[in-house]
Chains A and B, each alone.
Chain A
Amino acid sequence: MNQMNPEGYVTADGRKIGPVLMEMKNISLRFGGVKAITDISFDIREGEIRAIIGPNGAGKSSMLNVISGFYVPQDGEVWFRGYKRGPMKPYQVARLGIARTFQNIALFDGMSVLDNIMTGRLTLMKSGLFSQAMWWGKAEKEETEHREKVEKIIDFLEIQPIRKTPVGRLPYGLKKRVELARALAAEPKLLLLDEPMAGMNVEEKEDMCRFILDVNDEFGTTIALIEHDMGVVMDLSDRVVVMDYGKKIGDGTPDEVRSNPDVINAYLGVSHD
């Protein structure tokens, strides 16, 4: 189990981790005078579950926004699948195969669960405006094909009974699950989860953990997640990046991170004597 091996390695529980999928090199992000992120580098390998943790205001969400193209960093490079990524609009990033969920749910409230998840496949649907307008041949066939894929995800996340319900009527936990379904529908190479368990009760958290592990296991999706629940993070993730005040203070397996004195200081405070 050599984690430095560029070709990849096999984890203790038998999952294959591939080569580097995404690499952040010396990322710095400023808002005016506020330094949100200072000179952070880390990589995400194919097939792994990578967590980004840190106290409030550490710059975790900013980091995720850099990855998903919302923020363009002032310094640094983002490499994805072996290519350097120039400044891009978020919808272009989505087409590269990066999907995400949001900390405070960003679903389309006026649409049904099914339609919400179908929107996740927009980047994969190719039929043109006129074919759509006529609903002949390609448009209808495509709709059915993608519907089949979406139904698989619906089965997978166990949300069959609500597929025709408008999202606005659903409880919080289910909304989170639908949002995950929408992100999954895009068949992403890299899935970003911004606090997938925020505000959930224990049972919902367990469900969500199970889904995250299953997604990684079954679809082989690489996952980068931000989470505050340490127990969850340490159990789920293969490697963890720890941020504090916009800087990286730790990076490694959960065990390495747990014993890192800087991390302990950031979370528990340090005695000044």
Chain B
Amino acid sequence: MFYREAGDFKTSYADDSQTFPIRFDRLRYYAVMAVAFGVIPFFINDYWANAVFVPFLIYAIAALGLNILTGYCGQVSLGTGGFMAVGAYAVYKLMTAFPDVSILIHVLLAGGITAMVGVLFGLPSLRIKGFYLAVATLAAQFFLVWLFNKVPWFYNYSASGQISAPERTILGQAVTGANTTAPAKYLFCLIILVALAWLARNLTRGTVGRKWMAIRDMDIAAEIIGVNPLTTKLSAFAISSFYIGVAGALFFAVYLGAAEVGEAFGIQKSFLILFMIIIGGLGSIFGSFAGAAFMVLMPVLLKNLLVGQLGWATDLAAHLELMIVGALIVIFLIAEPHGMAQLWRLAKEKLRLWPFPH
């Protein structure tokens, strides 16, 4: 049932560099896609969409973005929340300024704008590394949140200081605003996520990805074999910020509907997404998904277990939930510092021989 390869029987290099070289993996991938596109939209309701699926899809996009920057290119960033805010405010301004243009184009443009902002804040990475770069991106986080709070133009001078998404449709279906149905939200985010994940996989398996990883593993050696550190680091910042900007735009427009910058895109968002990629696995596309699933599902599961099954008081459960999730993160990192992607790889290695180890 779980079959793995017994040897290398590929006859062309193109076969060897496929995403899923093993047929079983490929079939499983098609099965997941079929369920995601063909089954879930018919059963999804508002609770599942808002509590589980939509946040998972959006956080997976953000985690992919941060994983490109931190996991593949080795540049630590704590500015994720700020960059998501850029995406959110960009899509808000675009939606209100050009109501006739498709929301899909707005979301992509918001990603593009975030990419430019990301490059700007990525410039210090040419001089500083590691913790120092983390602090520099932390400055971006606080500056951007402050900017969107202080300059009324960004929230169209609304009295509350909030931004709220007007209704926009794709093919007659509302995807933002109050009348959006759960399947529409879900499918809109899912399509964008699948497209972006596919692009990320392609980027990371080719020349661009090797340049990023070369810079991550040893920047001096990377330079000596002809990698331009300037363009490589900035391309990582640009592409990563594009993903994070798209995630921010969706988070605001599709998921929240209305947002206040400090609350929705504060520093805790940056840490949340950093935790996702650390738990999921740095430098792994699958890890981004696994980490996002873990961080989104864990609180929901715990809440259902503690409040729903054991009947505890909600406030008590809420506090315990934080402690348990925190403890789980620590335990996880001690047990497998390379994240869930590594666990998955190990499991596959084991399955190669299981159940007949000789």
Contacts and interface: CB of A to CB of B under 8 A. Distances in A.
Nearest to B283: A110
A118 interface: yes
Contact of B211 (A68, A70, A100, A122): A122
B335 interface: no
B319 to A, nearest CB: 39
Nearest to A167: B217
Given A107-B221, A109-B217, A129 B210 contact: no
B4 interface: no
Interface residues of B, number: 31
Given A129-B235, A132-B207, A133-B199, A106 B218 contact: yes
B14 A140 contact: yes
Interface string A108-135: 1111000100111011010101001111
A98 to B, nearest CB: 9
Interface string A78-94: 00000000000111001
Given A108-B213, A108-B214, A147-B13, A100 B224 contact: yes
**B interface, by DSSP: helix, strand, loop or mixed?**
helix
B170 to A, nearest CB: 23
Contact of B221 (A102, A123, A139): A102
A153 interface: no
A183 B225 CA distance: 8
Given A122-B210, A133-B202, A111 B225 contact: no
Contact of B225 (A94, A109, A139, A140): A94
Given A115-B213, A147-B13, A186-B225, A107 B218 contact: yes
A108 B208 contact: no
- Looking at A68, A132, A144, which has the most chain B CB atoms within 10 Å of its CB? A132
Interface string B196-226: 0001001101111011011011101111111
A169 B218 CA distance: 16
Contact of A120 (B202, B217, B225, B235): B225
Given A143-B17, A144-B14, A147-B13, A108 B221 contact: yes
Interface residues of A, number: 39
Contacts of B207: 122, 125, 127, 132, 139, 143
Nearest to B199: A133
A99 interface: yes
B228 interface: yes
A109 B221 CA distance: 11
Nearest to A99: B225
B210 A119 contact: yes
A95 B208 contact: no
A111 B203 CA distance: 15
22 contacts: A89-B223, A91-B225, A91-B226, A91-B227, A106-B218, A106-B224, A108-B222, A110-B216, A111-B213, A111-B217, A118-B210, A119-B211, A119-B225, A122-B210, A123-B225, A127-B206, A134-B199, A139-B206, A140-B14, A143-B14, A143-B206, A144-B12
Interface of B: 12-14, 16-17, 199, 202-203, 205-208, 210-211, 213-214, 216-218, 220-229, 235, 283
